[in-house]
Structure 1
Amino acid sequence: MTAIEFSFHIGRVSKSLKPFAMKLTRDYEDANDLLQDTLLKAFTNRDKYTEGTNLKAWLYTIMKNTFITNYQKMVRKNTFIDTSDNLHYINSLESSTDNSAASAFALNDIENAVKSLDEAYRMPFVMYFRGFKYHEIADKLNIPIGTVKNRIHIARKELKDKLHMYAYWN
Protein backbone atom coordinates (compact mmCIF):
# COMPACT_ATOMS: atom_id res chain seq x y z
CA MET A 1 0.00 0.00 0.00
CA THR A 2 1.44 3.38 -0.95
CA ALA A 3 1.78 6.25 1.50
CA ILE A 4 -1.02 8.15 -0.25
CA GLU A 5 -3.40 5.18 -0.06
CA PHE A 6 -2.50 4.65 3.58
CA SER A 7 -3.13 8.35 4.34
CA PHE A 8 -6.47 8.18 2.58
CA HIS A 9 -7.61 5.12 4.56
CA ILE A 10 -6.39 6.62 7.85
CA GLY A 11 -8.23 9.87 7.08
CA ARG A 12 -11.50 8.01 6.60
CA VAL A 13 -11.15 6.05 9.83
CA SER A 14 -9.65 8.79 12.03
CA LYS A 15 -12.99 10.56 12.60
CA SER A 16 -14.26 7.54 14.52
CA LEU A 17 -11.24 7.64 16.85
CA LYS A 18 -12.17 11.00 18.45
CA PRO A 19 -15.05 9.64 20.61
CA PHE A 20 -12.80 6.82 21.83
CA ALA A 21 -10.10 9.35 22.73
CA MET A 22 -12.69 11.43 24.63
CA LYS A 23 -13.83 8.33 26.50
CA LEU A 24 -10.27 7.51 27.54
CA THR A 25 -9.09 11.01 28.49
CA ARG A 26 -12.35 12.75 29.44
CA ASP A 27 -10.75 16.01 28.34
CA TYR A 28 -11.11 17.72 24.95
CA GLU A 29 -7.49 18.91 24.66
CA ASP A 30 -6.03 15.63 25.93
CA ALA A 31 -8.23 13.75 23.46
CA ASN A 32 -6.88 15.86 20.60
CA ASP A 33 -3.31 15.19 21.78
CA LEU A 34 -3.98 11.46 22.04
CA LEU A 35 -5.51 11.40 18.57
CA GLN A 36 -2.52 13.26 17.16
CA ASP A 37 -0.05 10.90 18.89
CA THR A 38 -1.99 7.89 17.58
CA LEU A 39 -1.99 9.12 13.98
CA LEU A 40 1.70 10.02 14.19
CA LYS A 41 2.55 6.53 15.45
CA ALA A 42 0.38 4.98 12.73
CA PHE A 43 2.18 6.93 10.00
CA THR A 44 5.64 6.22 11.37
CA ASN A 45 4.85 2.51 11.75
CA ARG A 46 2.81 2.01 8.60
CA ASP A 47 5.24 -0.68 7.45
CA LYS A 48 4.02 -2.79 10.40
CA TYR A 49 0.41 -2.64 9.19
CA THR A 50 -0.63 -5.75 7.26
CA GLU A 51 -2.77 -4.81 4.29
CA GLY A 52 -6.19 -6.46 4.35
CA THR A 53 -6.48 -6.47 8.14
CA ASN A 54 -8.81 -4.21 10.09
CA LEU A 55 -7.22 -0.74 10.02
CA LYS A 56 -9.72 0.66 12.50
CA ALA A 57 -8.91 -2.03 15.08
CA TRP A 58 -5.18 -1.44 14.51
CA LEU A 59 -5.62 2.31 15.19
CA TYR A 60 -7.79 1.66 18.27
CA THR A 61 -5.05 -0.62 19.64
CA ILE A 62 -2.40 2.03 19.02
CA MET A 63 -4.58 4.63 20.76
CA LYS A 64 -5.28 2.42 23.76
CA ASN A 65 -1.62 1.51 24.18
CA THR A 66 -0.54 5.14 23.78
CA PHE A 67 -3.03 6.21 26.43
CA ILE A 68 -1.83 3.51 28.85
CA THR A 69 1.81 4.45 28.27
CA ASN A 70 1.10 8.15 28.82
CA TYR A 71 -0.89 7.38 31.96
CA GLN A 72 1.92 5.25 33.38
CA LYS A 73 4.44 8.04 32.64
CA MET A 74 2.21 10.54 34.44
CA VAL A 75 1.89 8.30 37.51
CA ARG A 76 5.66 7.75 37.63
CA LYS A 77 6.26 11.49 37.25
CA ASN A 78 3.95 12.27 40.18
CA THR A 79 5.58 9.69 42.45
CA PHE A 80 8.81 10.45 44.25
CA ILE A 81 11.13 8.32 46.33
CA ASP A 82 11.69 9.10 49.99
CA THR A 83 15.41 8.67 50.63
CA SER A 84 15.00 8.03 54.35
CA ASP A 85 15.98 4.67 55.85
CA ASN A 86 12.61 3.06 55.05
CA LEU A 87 12.54 4.08 51.34
CA HIS A 88 8.78 4.63 51.08
CA TYR A 89 7.11 5.45 47.78
CA ILE A 90 4.82 8.40 48.31
CA ASN A 91 2.37 9.68 45.75
CA SER A 92 2.64 13.44 45.75
CA LEU A 93 -0.96 13.93 44.57
CA GLU A 94 -2.41 12.72 47.89
CA SER A 95 -1.33 15.92 49.61
CA SER A 96 -2.62 18.24 46.90
CA THR A 97 -5.82 20.25 47.18
CA ASP A 98 -8.46 20.80 44.54
CA ASN A 99 -9.69 24.26 43.65
CA SER A 100 -13.45 23.95 43.34
CA ALA A 101 -14.05 27.52 42.15
CA ALA A 102 -14.70 26.41 38.58
CA SER A 103 -17.27 23.88 39.82
CA ALA A 104 -19.00 26.59 41.83
CA PHE A 105 -19.24 28.81 38.75
CA ALA A 106 -20.59 25.92 36.67
CA LEU A 107 -23.18 25.04 39.31
CA ASN A 108 -24.27 28.68 39.45
CA ASP A 109 -24.61 28.76 35.64
CA ILE A 110 -26.66 25.54 35.70
CA GLU A 111 -28.99 26.89 38.41
CA ASN A 112 -29.50 30.13 36.46
CA ALA A 113 -30.18 28.21 33.25
CA VAL A 114 -32.79 26.02 34.96
CA LYS A 115 -34.42 29.09 36.57
CA SER A 116 -34.61 30.80 33.16
CA LEU A 117 -36.68 27.96 31.68
CA ASP A 118 -40.35 28.62 31.11
CA GLU A 119 -42.42 27.34 34.06
CA ALA A 120 -44.24 24.82 31.84
CA TYR A 121 -40.89 23.13 31.04
CA ARG A 122 -39.06 23.76 34.30
CA MET A 123 -41.51 21.95 36.61
CA PRO A 124 -41.57 18.61 34.74
CA PHE A 125 -37.79 18.77 34.24
CA VAL A 126 -37.04 19.49 37.92
CA MET A 127 -39.45 16.77 39.05
CA TYR A 128 -37.84 14.28 36.66
CA PHE A 129 -34.37 15.34 37.85
CA ARG A 130 -35.45 14.72 41.45
CA GLY A 131 -36.43 11.15 40.59
CA PHE A 132 -40.13 11.26 39.76
CA LYS A 133 -41.34 8.88 37.06
CA TYR A 134 -43.13 10.20 33.98
CA HIS A 135 -46.53 8.94 35.14
CA GLU A 136 -46.04 10.49 38.60
CA ILE A 137 -45.24 13.86 37.02
CA ALA A 138 -48.27 13.56 34.73
CA ASP A 139 -50.54 12.80 37.69
CA LYS A 140 -49.09 15.58 39.86
CA LEU A 141 -49.29 18.25 37.13
CA ASN A 142 -52.54 16.93 35.66
CA ILE A 143 -51.20 16.68 32.10
CA PRO A 144 -50.84 13.75 29.65
CA ILE A 145 -47.70 11.62 29.89
CA GLY A 146 -46.75 12.48 26.27
CA THR A 147 -46.78 16.17 27.21
CA VAL A 148 -44.52 15.44 30.18
CA LYS A 149 -42.01 13.66 27.96
CA ASN A 150 -42.13 16.44 25.38
CA ARG A 151 -41.62 19.20 27.96
CA ILE A 152 -38.68 17.38 29.57
CA HIS A 153 -37.16 16.90 26.13
CA ILE A 154 -37.55 20.59 25.27
CA ALA A 155 -36.12 21.64 28.68
CA ARG A 156 -33.06 19.42 28.17
CA LYS A 157 -32.58 20.82 24.66
CA GLU A 158 -32.80 24.43 25.91
CA LEU A 159 -30.39 23.70 28.78
CA LYS A 160 -27.96 22.09 26.37
CA ASP A 161 -28.04 25.23 24.21
CA LYS A 162 -27.67 27.57 27.19
CA LEU A 163 -24.81 25.54 28.70
CA HIS A 164 -22.97 24.73 25.46
CA MET A 165 -19.72 26.12 26.90
CA TYR A 166 -19.53 23.12 29.26
CA ALA A 167 -19.86 20.49 26.50
CA TYR A 168 -16.31 19.13 26.94
CA TRP A 169 -15.64 20.34 30.48
CA ASN A 170 -14.78 17.99 33.36
Structure 2
Amino acid sequence: MDALVSKPAAQTVHAAIEAQLPALRRFSQRFTRSASDREDLVQETVMRALRSSHQFCPDTRLRSWLFTIMRNTFNTEYRRRCREPVGLDDGLFERASISAPQEWAVRRSELRSALSRIPPRSRRTLLLVAMGVSYIDTARLCACEIGTVKSRVNRARKMLEDEIGRPDAF
Protein backbone atom coordinates (compact mmCIF):
# COMPACT_ATOMS: atom_id res chain seq x y z
CA MET A 1 0.00 0.00 0.00
CA ASP A 2 2.13 2.82 -1.28
CA ALA A 3 -0.75 5.26 -1.47
CA LEU A 4 0.05 8.73 -0.23
CA VAL A 5 -0.97 9.40 3.35
CA SER A 6 -3.10 12.50 3.87
CA LYS A 7 -1.73 15.37 5.95
CA PRO A 8 -3.75 14.58 9.10
CA ALA A 9 -2.84 10.90 8.79
CA ALA A 10 0.84 11.84 8.40
CA GLN A 11 0.64 13.98 11.54
CA THR A 12 -0.92 11.01 13.35
CA VAL A 13 1.99 8.80 12.22
CA HIS A 14 4.45 11.47 13.35
CA ALA A 15 2.81 11.66 16.79
CA ALA A 16 2.78 7.86 17.03
CA ILE A 17 6.49 7.76 16.17
CA GLU A 18 7.17 10.31 18.90
CA ALA A 19 5.25 8.13 21.37
CA GLN A 20 7.59 5.23 20.54
CA LEU A 21 10.79 7.10 21.51
CA PRO A 22 11.17 5.36 24.90
CA ALA A 23 10.81 1.94 23.25
CA LEU A 24 13.33 2.93 20.57
CA ARG A 25 15.81 4.05 23.24
CA ARG A 26 15.45 0.72 25.05
CA PHE A 27 15.79 -1.24 21.80
CA SER A 28 18.92 0.72 20.82
CA GLN A 29 20.68 -0.73 23.90
CA ARG A 30 20.83 -4.06 22.07
CA PHE A 31 23.05 -2.53 19.40
CA THR A 32 25.47 -0.23 21.19
CA ARG A 33 26.72 0.47 24.71
CA SER A 34 27.66 4.11 24.22
CA ALA A 35 24.91 6.54 25.24
CA SER A 36 25.84 9.00 22.49
CA ASP A 37 25.83 6.23 19.86
CA ARG A 38 22.40 5.10 21.12
CA GLU A 39 21.05 8.63 20.80
CA ASP A 40 22.52 8.93 17.31
CA LEU A 41 20.91 5.61 16.34
CA VAL A 42 17.51 6.67 17.70
CA GLN A 43 17.78 10.03 15.96
CA GLU A 44 18.74 8.47 12.61
CA THR A 45 15.91 5.93 12.98
CA VAL A 46 13.36 8.67 13.64
CA MET A 47 14.69 10.75 10.74
CA ARG A 48 14.37 7.81 8.36
CA ALA A 49 10.93 6.92 9.68
CA LEU A 50 9.68 10.48 9.25
CA ARG A 51 11.16 10.64 5.77
CA SER A 52 9.39 7.38 4.90
CA SER A 53 6.18 7.96 6.86
CA HIS A 54 4.21 8.12 3.62
CA GLN A 55 5.18 4.46 3.05
CA PHE A 56 3.89 3.29 6.41
CA CYS A 57 1.01 0.86 6.03
CA PRO A 58 -1.65 1.36 8.72
CA ASP A 59 -2.14 -2.43 8.92
CA THR A 60 1.45 -2.77 10.19
CA ARG A 61 2.55 -2.47 13.81
CA LEU A 62 4.36 0.85 14.08
CA ARG A 63 6.77 -0.44 16.73
CA SER A 64 7.83 -3.36 14.51
CA TRP A 65 8.27 -1.01 11.56
CA LEU A 66 10.43 1.35 13.64
CA PHE A 67 12.50 -1.52 15.08
CA THR A 68 13.13 -2.81 11.56
CA ILE A 69 14.28 0.65 10.47
CA MET A 70 16.58 0.83 13.51
CA ARG A 71 18.07 -2.61 12.88
CA ASN A 72 18.67 -1.80 9.20
CA THR A 73 20.17 1.58 10.10
CA PHE A 74 22.54 -0.04 12.58
CA ASN A 75 23.55 -2.77 10.10
CA THR A 76 24.22 -0.23 7.36
CA GLU A 77 26.33 1.92 9.69
CA TYR A 78 28.18 -1.12 11.04
CA ARG A 79 29.11 -2.29 7.53
CA ARG A 80 30.25 1.24 6.63
CA ARG A 81 32.44 1.45 9.72
CA CYS A 82 34.01 -1.94 8.99
CA ARG A 83 35.21 -0.60 5.64
CA GLU A 84 36.83 2.49 7.15
CA PRO A 85 40.12 2.47 9.03
CA VAL A 86 39.65 3.50 12.65
CA GLY A 87 41.97 5.80 14.56
CA LEU A 88 43.92 7.11 11.59
CA ASP A 89 43.78 10.72 10.51
CA ASP A 90 42.37 11.46 7.08
CA GLY A 91 45.59 12.54 5.38
CA LEU A 92 47.79 9.72 6.63
CA PHE A 93 47.59 7.60 3.50
CA GLU A 94 48.42 10.56 1.26
CA ARG A 95 51.45 11.54 3.37
CA ALA A 96 52.81 8.04 3.79
CA SER A 97 55.09 7.24 0.92
CA ILE A 98 57.64 4.50 1.01
CA SER A 99 60.05 3.98 -1.82
CA ALA A 100 59.70 0.67 -3.58
CA PRO A 101 61.91 -2.04 -2.16
CA GLN A 102 64.68 -3.36 -4.37
CA GLU A 103 62.64 -6.45 -5.25
CA TRP A 104 59.86 -4.31 -6.76
CA ALA A 105 62.38 -2.29 -8.75
CA VAL A 106 63.80 -5.53 -10.15
CA ARG A 107 60.27 -6.82 -10.95
CA ARG A 108 59.44 -3.57 -12.76
CA SER A 109 62.61 -3.89 -14.80
CA GLU A 110 61.78 -7.52 -15.65
CA LEU A 111 58.27 -6.53 -16.69
CA ARG A 112 59.52 -3.72 -18.96
CA SER A 113 62.02 -6.06 -20.52
CA ALA A 114 59.42 -8.80 -21.06
CA LEU A 115 56.95 -6.28 -22.54
CA SER A 116 59.58 -5.11 -25.02
CA ARG A 117 59.90 -8.67 -26.36
CA ILE A 118 56.16 -9.01 -27.08
CA PRO A 119 55.22 -8.20 -30.69
CA PRO A 120 54.18 -4.52 -30.97
CA ARG A 121 50.54 -5.16 -31.96
CA SER A 122 50.01 -7.62 -29.09
CA ARG A 123 51.83 -5.32 -26.65
CA ARG A 124 49.65 -2.34 -27.62
CA THR A 125 46.48 -4.42 -27.35
CA LEU A 126 47.50 -5.80 -23.94
CA LEU A 127 48.38 -2.36 -22.59
CA LEU A 128 45.10 -0.85 -23.78
CA VAL A 129 43.09 -3.60 -22.08
CA ALA A 130 45.27 -3.37 -18.95
CA MET A 131 44.54 0.37 -18.75
CA GLY A 132 40.82 -0.39 -18.64
CA VAL A 133 39.88 0.25 -22.26
CA SER A 134 37.01 -2.05 -23.24
CA TYR A 135 37.55 -4.82 -25.77
CA ILE A 136 35.21 -3.05 -28.21
CA ASP A 137 37.11 0.25 -27.98
CA THR A 138 40.44 -1.58 -28.18
CA ALA A 139 39.24 -3.30 -31.36
CA ARG A 140 38.35 0.10 -32.83
CA LEU A 141 41.69 1.61 -31.85
CA CYS A 142 43.64 -1.34 -33.25
CA ALA A 143 41.44 -1.60 -36.36
CA CYS A 144 40.67 -5.29 -35.83
CA GLU A 145 37.90 -7.59 -34.64
CA ILE A 146 37.10 -8.24 -30.96
CA GLY A 147 38.15 -11.86 -31.35
CA THR A 148 41.55 -10.69 -32.57
CA VAL A 149 41.86 -8.41 -29.52
CA LYS A 150 41.04 -11.28 -27.20
CA SER A 151 43.52 -13.65 -28.80
CA ARG A 152 46.29 -10.98 -28.83
CA VAL A 153 45.71 -10.24 -25.16
CA ASN A 154 45.68 -13.95 -24.33
CA ARG A 155 48.93 -14.59 -26.24
CA ALA A 156 50.61 -11.53 -24.67
CA ARG A 157 49.59 -12.63 -21.17
CA LYS A 158 50.89 -16.11 -21.85
CA MET A 159 54.22 -14.69 -23.07
CA LEU A 160 54.54 -12.57 -19.92
CA GLU A 161 53.66 -15.50 -17.71
CA ASP A 162 56.24 -17.71 -19.42
CA GLU A 163 58.87 -15.02 -19.09
CA ILE A 164 58.40 -13.62 -15.58
CA GLY A 165 55.97 -15.99 -13.86
CA ARG A 166 52.41 -15.67 -12.60
CA PRO A 167 51.19 -12.15 -11.72
CA ASP A 168 49.98 -13.30 -8.30
CA ALA A 169 53.59 -14.22 -7.45
CA PHE A 170 54.36 -10.50 -7.14
TM-score (norm 1): 0.45
TM-score (norm 2): 0.45
Instruction: From the CA coordinates, give the structure whose radius of gyration is larger.
Output: 2
